[in-house]
Amino acid sequence: MKCEDILIFTDLDGSLLDHDNFEFQDIKDFILKCLDTGIKIIPNSSKTKIEIELFFNQLGKELPYISENGAAVHNLDLLNANLKLKDNSIILSRSIKEILEIFKTKVPLEFREKCDFIEDMTQDKQMQTLGLNHKYLPFALNRDYSLPLIFNGSRKLIREFSLFLKSLGLKLHEGGRVFNICDDCSKGFAMKSVVKKLRTELKSNPYTIVVGDSPNDISMLKQSDQPCIIPLPNKDNLIDLEIKNIIRAKKYAPKGWEEVIKSSLKKININFVG
Ligand SMILES: [Mg+2]
């Protein structure tokens, strides 16, 4: 297999970035080394466009990426210059305004009163909930396609809420820190759209490695050639997920990311010192 055919779709928070402080310095050189070999890395995150671009600033490199839980795919020319797309993006979601309108008019009070939207919290509570400081908070709040919230209810009620949203054509995504109400899109569907484009338009046959840590990563883990899971320091995450061939990191992010990528590459006979 050629490195150019390898696509790594990766979650960011808790998977590539440290769950608590969002750091990745320890694996920065390894990431750059992967990119140098021709391997493509595609962040697929619940983060906003601007938050992911800040990550690229720290990395010193722009990458193709998927923002807000599969709502939009950007920078596709960086995946392959021959991909022809309007605005270089694929938008898979309705706007946040439309999603909010559906929520306000169609969701019964018994669910609505359990929703504590990040947008409505005090700034201190927002920072505490998202684990962000003054500098980074505004970038996380600048959302185009999703409504982050805390849901104050039992697991049973969460399941019922999720099913109700589904009946409205919306989705409830569970990330490492908060829930997000989104359009009927997912990280997995967005990933599939990218892979399909490469297969149909460029006749290429990519090998996909997926790295995730939370329920909102399951849709993409399920359709990868090599699924990888990173443990979280504060909870038993995805421990019951049964997918064939999973590689589970022993270490937390960011080192766990390097660990699973090295193991994944080794399985397909690609070895390089990183
Ligand atoms: Mg995560």
| DSSP percent split of the chain into helix, strand, coil, nearest 5 | 40, 20, 40
**How many angstroms separate the alpha carbon of residue 174 from the centre of ligand 1?**
9
Q: Do 250 and 239 contact (CB within 8 A), yes or no?
A: no
**How many angstroms separate the alpha carbon of residue 230 from the centre of ligand 1?**
9
Q: Do 193 and 73 contact (CB within 8 A), yes or no?
A: yes
pLDDT in tens, the chain (274 residues): 899 999 999 999 999 999 999 999 999 999 999 999 999 999 999 999 999 999 999 999 999 999 999 999 999 999 988 887 778 899 999 999 999 999 999 999 999 999 999 999 999 999 999 999 999 999 999 999 999 999 999 999 999 999 999 999 999 988 888 999 999 999 999 999 999 999 999 999 999 999 999 999 999 999 999 999 999 998 889 988 989 899 999 999 999 999 999 999 999 999 865 5
What whole-number distance in Å separates Cα of residue 248 and Cα of residue 108? 40
**How many angstroms separate the alpha carbon of residue 24 from the centre of ligand 1?**
14
**How many angstroms separate the alpha carbon of residue 212 from the centre of ligand 1?**
6
What whole-number distance in Å separates Cα of residue 62 and Cα of residue 226? 24
**How many angstroms separate the alpha carbon of residue 201 from the centre of ligand 1?**
31
Amino acid 175: pLDDT: 84
> How would you classify residue 38: left for phi > 0, otherwise alpha for psi between -120 and 50, otherwise beta?
left
**How many angstroms separate the alpha carbon of residue 234 from the centre of ligand 1?**
13
Q: Do 178 and 170 contact (CB within 8 A), yes or no?
A: no
Q: Looking at the domain 96-183, which fold is it?
A: Threonyl-tRNA Synthetase; Chain A, domain 2 (3.30.980)
Instruction: Tell me the two tokens of residue 41.
Output: 């890395």
Amino acid 274: pLDDT: 53
**Residues whose CB falls within 8 Å of the CB of residue 183, separated by 6 or more in sequence, listed in order:** 71, 92, 93, 94, 99, 145, 169, 170, 171
Work out the number of other CB atoms within 10 angstroms of the CB of residue 194.
Answer: 23
Please report the DSSP string for 195-245 in residue order.
HHHHHHHH----EEEEEE-SGGGHHHHTT-SEEEE---SSS--STT---TT
**How many angstroms separate the alpha carbon of residue 87 from the centre of ligand 1?**
28
**How many angstroms separate the alpha carbon of residue 175 from the centre of ligand 1?**
6
> Residues with Cβ within 5 Å of ion ligand 1?
11, 13-14, 176, 213-214
Amino acid 103: pLDDT: 95
What whole-number distance in Å separates Cα of residue 224 and Cα of residue 185? 17
**How many angstroms separate the alpha carbon of residue 180 from the centre of ligand 1?**
13
Domain segments of the chain as ranges? 3-91+186-267, 96-183
Measured CA angle at 231 (ends 270, 259), to 5 deg: 20
Specify whether domain 3-91+186-267 bears CATH 3.30.505.10. Answer: no
**How many angstroms separate the alpha carbon of residue 14 from the centre of ligand 1?**
5
**How many angstroms separate the alpha carbon of residue 153 from the centre of ligand 1?**
22
Amino acid 105: pLDDT: 97
3-91+186-267 and 96-183 have identical folds: no
